Chain A
Amino acid sequence: MEDDAPVIYGLEFQIHIIDFDDENNIINKNVLLHQAGEIWHISASPADRGVLATCYNRTSDSKVLTCAAVWRMPKELESGTHESPDDSSSAAQTLELLCHLDNTAHSNMACVVWEPMGDGKKIISLADNHILLWDLQESSSQAVLASSASLEGKGQLKFTSGRWSPHHNCTQVATANDTTLRGWDTRSMSQIYCIENAHGQLVRDLDFNPNKQYYLASCGDDCKVKFWDTRNVTEPVKTLEEHSHWVWNVRYNHSHDQLVLTGSSDSRVILSNMVSISSEPFGHLVDDDDISDQEDHRSEEKSKEPLQDNVIATYEEHEDSVYAVDWSSADPWLFASLSYDGRLVINRVPRALKYHILL
């Protein structure tokens, strides 16, 4: 699967697995039925590529309930070698339910996040004003609530989004509720930092810098993307104001953290180059894994001047609001965005920039 970039996205009652063959520019689609209800959030296990967790709406008795569950894909899809007949009308397969994240006590799961570096045994879900840490046992067939914490305060507090930090031995989780960002320690389930009024309006999403342990990005309804240093939360390190409507998603590139992807309901996807606050402020110093050794010496010759932050590209292929963007986990130069009208667009980082970063 070196060249394939599996992208998973959810639409109503289906999960589509898209295989993108980079060499041949061929897209393969596999459809899995998700019979429990419409999916609002989806996340794949970092340890087991066949396992994923979803948050879904269940409508019953004129009530909408958002639940969360862990699922397993059919084996042949998981292997990645499966060649589907390339026919969208082929019989859809069904996900195998592993376990429910039991929500009798807590309704309305907003999102589910896996421990990023772990063995796929720990998962956190956000339900209303509770943050729940689950332990998956017996090969994920049973979820046990390990610990939980809840947000107390005036009014009806509700988490909108959360991310698990890959740093500090995976002991930190950041959440967003209304205009506030909070950091949590998963060992004691206590709050470690709090950024009040991080955005003027609702915070929609956040993401950790994969290479700099204290940096995190957030976005929200004030059309801004802000970058924070969690050690000093009074002021954002940097603010981007490129979008003209709510920003729904912000994602750091997994290996080159200067590349930041944002999706907004102004139906644009913007790829920004935040060199000045990245882990490589003077360009690329240490070569990445996927560069061959002959290119090593060339990187040293590059002038080491600080580069300017700028917008690399604005993608306007979408006709409606973009609700999700993400990077490929296999190819750092590939990303996909999904909009309301169901259009999935896969894009590459511009070649010139790619070489600029690498060389």
Chain B
Amino acid sequence: MAAAAAAGPSPGSGPGDSPEGPEGEAPERRRKAHGMLKLYYGLSEGEAAGRPAGPDPLDPTDLNGAHFDPEVYLDKLRRECPLAQLMDSETDMVRQIRALDSDMQTLVYENYNKFISATDTIRKMKNDFRKMEDEMDRLATNMAVITDFSARISATLQDRHERITKLAGVHALLRKLQFLFELPSRLTKCVELGAYGQAVRYQGRAQAVLQQYQHLPSFRAIQDDCQVITARLAQQLRQRFREGGSGAPEQAECVELLLALGEPAEELCEEFLAHARGRLEEELRSLEAELGPSPPAPDVLEFTDHGGSGFVGGLCQVAAAYQELFAAQGPAGAERLAAFARELGSRYFALVERRLAQERAAFLGCLTDVRQALAAPRVAGKEGPGLAELLANVASSILSHIKASLAAVHLFTAKEVSFSNKPYFRGEFCSQGVREGLIVGFIRSMCHTAQSFCDSPGEKGGATPPALLLLLSRLCLDYETATISYILTLTDEQFLVQDQFPVTPVSTLCAEARETARRLLTHYVKVQGLVISQMLRKSVETRDWLSTLEPRNVRAVMKRVVEDTTAIDVQVGLLYEEGVRKAQSSDSSKRTFSVYSSSRQQGRYAPSYTPSAPMDTNLLSNIQKLFSERIDVFSPVEFNKVSVLTGIIKISLKTLLECVRLRTFGRFGLQQVQVDCHFLQLYLWRFVADEELVHLLLDEVVASAALRCPDPVPMEPSVVEVICERG
């Protein structure tokens, strides 16, 4: 310590540090003390290394360092420091040594105190433990006494316990017996209250016991009573079951109870089905009534909905109840149920089919509407029903009908319907059922219905109004051009047809529709041609051509023909385009007039009846025909107005020609024909595609009339013209 005191202060705790006060000094001091303890215990290195702020620990001049060498330190001080500083460090050193001494003293005191108190505590503990041991001994003896007592009590109570158990058993038995004795009255009460389920349960519980002890007279009596009551119960149940008014679940309950009562299942099964049949047949009847002969039939969806919830639901319920009740019946029972369901089901489906058949007639309904619409304006005396509007109406109503049907059918493939995922509904249903069966079938049946108008036996005209033919023809043509492909695209989109069944291609349907349209239009031409033909024919056949007067006028029938043709022209113009006609000069009527009045005059109007003469006329007409094309009277028409009109006029004029050839004409008769033909020529050429055709036919008419005239003196062309212009 002397060395340390001589050594003076360390650089870290130099004289500048003193003003820091006792707080700053205290940790410093403690550290020093620790450092010395550590030094003592050999820990110095590790601890010293942990001290960051210290100077080199190996420095022998470090007062606090482990390798402090007092000699070196003193040498250093002596060599380096002036006297004043040496003095200072000496005082400092002394002061430090004193502080250290007092510290040491305090520590020793503190530790000594602690040691003393610990010794006291240990002595006290020794005392306590001794006391505790005594207590434990006492506890052990007490426990032994308790055990002894308990054993003695148990031995005493043993006897009583057995008796109590026995008594409890007797009590239960007695209660059972009481139940048995009360059973008849209870059953009666239950039956009276209608708690059949309870009664059956009681009976079921008692049955076995009574069976077992029936040799005892008392039990015998109870059993007999019970049997009587049970019989009555069964009776009542049956009664209720037969009344049938109650719903299916109640009936099922009845049957269940009866089964529990041990009634013959076979018979019950029959009866159950009979009742179910009665109910379901009622459903069917109500459905049938809805169908009815009078057609205020509800919507088809409503109908199927009704059928589905009423009949199908009922049938399902019956089947479920049956299977639950008569599961024990085995395959025979199942067989019976299947037969039952099959029969009723087939009747139901027959009804549904009938209903759907009515639905099919929708197109016919449309047609009826159109017919009425066509007939109505005429009754009202209006001119020209709006054919185009009607067409639009029909087309849109049919289209909306198809869309509605598609939407209705689409429900079957909706995602939320459970069976829509079955392969049938994904594949065959879409392609075969909907596309082929519904849409293609509809288009086909439409074409078929339309075509049937062409084949109707009433060819004399009355059956089908010509305007309807025209309208349908246009409708079919529209279908061919647009609607069919539209509908089929719509269908294909809605029902992603994804299987490889062959489907009818659009082109086939289009061809069918076009064919229908063509036939309808051809028929229209025939019908209208026939109307005009009849008019011309009557006019030729009923007139006395030999004694007719010199013509002054065009005959009224010719004017009528022109009027009617104009009307037809207007009618067709409403629905069909104009079409192309051969370009010809507008005043060609005059030109052709000269054809038959000049070129043929010599040959035809002056026939002589010598054998050689006909050769000339034949030759002439044949030569002319060589240069003109053969006229195909009922040739197929094209879809335009001009072609239709040409067809009608051809038919009419050909009729006129044939009729004229069957008559004999006087001079004025011939002239009248001449006038009539010229008149027709003036007005008809504008309607036809090739006016040459009209000229040719009219030419032929006049030539034929001339040939059929014993005194053929034709009228002057100028006079003919004057008459025609006047008329």
Q: Please give the residue numbers on chain A whose beta carbons come within 8 Å of chain B beta carbons, in ascending order.
A: 11-14, 31, 38, 57, 59, 62-64, 88-89, 92, 179, 197, 200-201, 222-223, 244-246, 265-267, 319-321, 340-343
Chain B residues 308 to 355 lying within 8 A of chain A, measured CB to CB, are: none
Chain B residues 612 to 637 lying within 8 A of chain A, measured CB to CB, are: 612, 614, 618, 621-622, 625-626, 630, 632-635
Residues of B within 8 A of A244 (CB): 632-635
In this assembly, does B460 line the interface, its C-beta being within 8 Å of a C-beta of chain A?
Answer: yes
Residues of A within 8 A of B633 (CB): 244-245, 266
Report how far A11 CA is from B617 CA in the complex, Å. Answer: 14
Report how far A245 CA is from B652 CA in the complex, Å. Answer: 11
What are 15 sample pairs from A and B whose C-beta atoms fall under 8 A apart? A89-B611, A200-B457, A200-B459, A244-B634, A245-B634, A266-B632, A319-B621, A319-B625, A319-B630, A320-B621, A320-B625, A340-B704, A341-B618, A342-B614, A342-B618
Residues of B within 8 A of A265 (CB): 654, 658
Q: Is B614 in contact with A13, judged by CB distance below 8 angstroms?
A: no
Q: Is B611 in contact with A59, judged by CB distance below 8 angstroms?
A: no
Report how far A63 CA is from B548 CA in the complex, Å. Answer: 11
Report how far A321 CA is from B609 CA in the complex, Å. Answer: 22
Residue of A nearest to B547 (CB): A62
Interface pairs A-B: 8 shortest CB-CB: A200-B459, A244-B634, A62-B547, A62-B546, A319-B625, A245-B633, A64-B664, A342-B618
Residue of B nearest to A246 (CB): B658
B719 to chain A, nearest CB (A): 22
Q: Is B611 in contact with A64, judged by CB distance below 8 angstroms?
A: no
Given contacts A64-B664, A88-B612, A200-B459, 13 further A-B contacts (CB under 8 A): A14-B611, A59-B546, A62-B546, A64-B546, A92-B611, A201-B459, A201-B460, A201-B530, A244-B635, A245-B654, A266-B632, A319-B626, A320-B625
In this assembly, does B466 line the interface, its C-beta being within 8 Å of a C-beta of chain A?
Answer: no
A68 to chain B, nearest CB (A): 17
Given the known inter-chain contacts A244-B632, A340-B661, please indicate yes or no for A88 contacting B611, CB distance below 8 A.
yes
Q: Which of A12, A14, A340 has the most CB of B within 10 A?
A: A340
Q: Is B460 in contact with A200, judged by CB distance below 8 angstroms?
A: yes
Report how far A57 CA is from B665 CA in the complex, Å. Answer: 12
B705 to chain A, nearest CB (A): 13
In this assembly, does B710 line the interface, its C-beta being within 8 Å of a C-beta of chain A?
Answer: yes
Q: Is A341 in contact with B622, judged by CB distance below 8 angstroms?
A: yes
Residues of A within 8 A of B70 (CB): none
Q: Please give the residue numbers on chain B whose beta carbons come within 8 Å of chain A beta carbons, in ascending order.
A: 457, 459-460, 530, 546-547, 609, 611-612, 614, 618, 621-622, 625-626, 630, 632-635, 654, 658, 661, 664, 666, 704, 710
Report how far A185 CA is from B40 CA in the complex, Å. Answer: 166
Report how far A92 CA is from B618 CA in the complex, Å. Answer: 21
Report how far A265 CA is from B633 CA in the complex, Å. Answer: 10
Q: Is A63 in contact with B546, judged by CB distance below 8 angstroms?
A: yes
Q: Is A197 in contact with B654, judged by CB distance below 8 angstroms?
A: no
Residues of B within 8 A of A89 (CB): 611-612
Residues of A within 8 A of B632 (CB): 244, 266
Report how far A85 CA is from B704 CA in the complex, Å. Answer: 33
Residues of B within 8 A of A320 (CB): 621, 625
Residues of B within 8 A of A201 (CB): 459-460, 530
Report how far A63 CA is from B625 CA in the complex, Å. Answer: 33
Residue of B nearest to A40 (CB): B662
Residues of A within 8 A of B658 (CB): 246, 265, 321
B631 to chain A, nearest CB (A): 9
Residues of B within 8 A of A341 (CB): 618, 621-622
Report how far A197 CA is from B666 CA in the complex, Å. Answer: 34
Residue of A nearest to B704 (CB): A340
Q: Is A223 in contact with B634, judged by CB distance below 8 angstroms?
A: yes
Residue of B nearest to A202 (CB): B537
Report how far A320 CA is from B621 CA in the complex, Å. Answer: 10
Residue of A nearest to B545 (CB): A64
A264 to chain B, nearest CB (A): 10
Q: Which of B530, B632, B658, B664 has the most CB of A within 10 A?
A: B658
Given the known inter-chain contacts A201-B459, A342-B618, please indicate yes or no for A31 contacting B664, CB distance below 8 A.
no
Q: Which of B460, B622, B666, B704 contacts A319 (CB 8 A)?
A: B622
Residues of A within 8 A of B546 (CB): 59, 62-64
Residues of B within 8 A of A343 (CB): 618, 622
Q: Is B459 in contact with A11, judged by CB distance below 8 angstroms?
A: no
Residues of B within 8 A of A64 (CB): 546, 664
Report how far A14 CA is from B621 CA in the complex, Å. Answer: 21
Residue of A nearest to B630 (CB): A267
B546 to chain A, nearest CB (A): 4
Report how far A222 CA is from B618 CA in the complex, Å. Answer: 29
Residues of B within 8 A of A38 (CB): 664
B453 to chain A, nearest CB (A): 14
Residues of B within 8 A of A266 (CB): 632-634
B528 to chain A, nearest CB (A): 14
Residues of B within 8 A of A197 (CB): 457
Report how far A64 CA is from B545 CA in the complex, Å. Answer: 10
Residues of B within 8 A of A267 (CB): 630
Residues of A within 8 A of B666 (CB): 62
Residues of A within 8 A of B621 (CB): 319-320, 341
Report how far A229 CA is from B633 CA in the complex, Å. Answer: 31
Residues of A within 8 A of B612 (CB): 88-89
B85 to chain A, nearest CB (A): 152
Q: Which of A12, A62, A245, A340 contacts B609 (CB 8 A)?
A: A12
Report how far A64 CA is from B546 CA in the complex, Å. Answer: 8
Residue of B nearest to A88 (CB): B611
Report how far A265 CA is from B632 CA in the complex, Å. Answer: 10
Residue of A nearest to B663 (CB): A64
Report how far A92 CA is from B610 CA in the complex, Å. Answer: 10
Report how far A246 CA is from B656 CA in the complex, Å. Answer: 12
Report how far A197 CA is from B459 CA in the complex, Å. Answer: 9
Q: Which of A14, A223, A342, A343 has the most CB of B within 10 A?
A: A342
Report how far A223 CA is from B213 CA in the complex, Å. Answer: 104
Q: Which of A14, A63, A223, A319 contacts B547 (CB 8 A)?
A: A63
Residues of A within 8 A of B704 (CB): 340
Report how far A63 CA is from B622 CA in the complex, Å. Answer: 32
Report how far A62 CA is from B625 CA in the complex, Å. Answer: 33
Residues of A within 8 A of B457 (CB): 197, 200
Residues of A within 8 A of B530 (CB): 201
Report how far A341 CA is from B700 CA in the complex, Å. Answer: 12
Residues of A within 8 A of B654 (CB): 245, 265
Residue of A nearest to B625 (CB): A319
B578 to chain A, nearest CB (A): 26
Q: Is B614 in contact with A11, judged by CB distance below 8 angstroms?
A: yes
Residue of B nearest to A265 (CB): B658
Report how far A189 CA is from B53 CA in the complex, Å. Answer: 161
Report how far A63 CA is from B634 CA in the complex, Å. Answer: 35
A237 to chain B, nearest CB (A): 16
A357 to chain B, nearest CB (A): 31
Residue of A nearest to B634 (CB): A244
Residue of B nearest to A248 (CB): B658
Report how far A64 CA is from B544 CA in the complex, Å. Answer: 9
Residue of A nearest to B619 (CB): A341
Q: Which of B611, B618, B635 contacts A31 (CB 8 A)?
A: B611
Residue of A nearest to B666 (CB): A62
Report how far A182 CA is from B474 CA in the complex, Å. Answer: 41
Residues of A within 8 A of B614 (CB): 11, 342
Residue of A nearest to B610 (CB): A89
Report how far A342 CA is from B607 CA in the complex, Å. Answer: 14
B523 to chain A, nearest CB (A): 12
Residues of A within 8 A of B661 (CB): 321, 340
Residues of B within 8 A of A223 (CB): 634
Residue of A nearest to B612 (CB): A89
A255 to chain B, nearest CB (A): 32
Report how far A14 CA is from B530 CA in the complex, Å. Answer: 35
Report how far A57 CA is from B663 CA in the complex, Å. Answer: 10
Q: Is A59 in contact with B664, judged by CB distance below 8 angstroms?
A: yes
Residues of A within 8 A of B609 (CB): 12-13
Report how far A223 CA is from B609 CA in the complex, Å. Answer: 34
Given the known inter-chain contacts A201-B530, A341-B618, please indicate yes or no for A59 contacting B710, CB distance below 8 A.
yes
Report how far A267 CA is from B625 CA in the complex, Å. Answer: 12
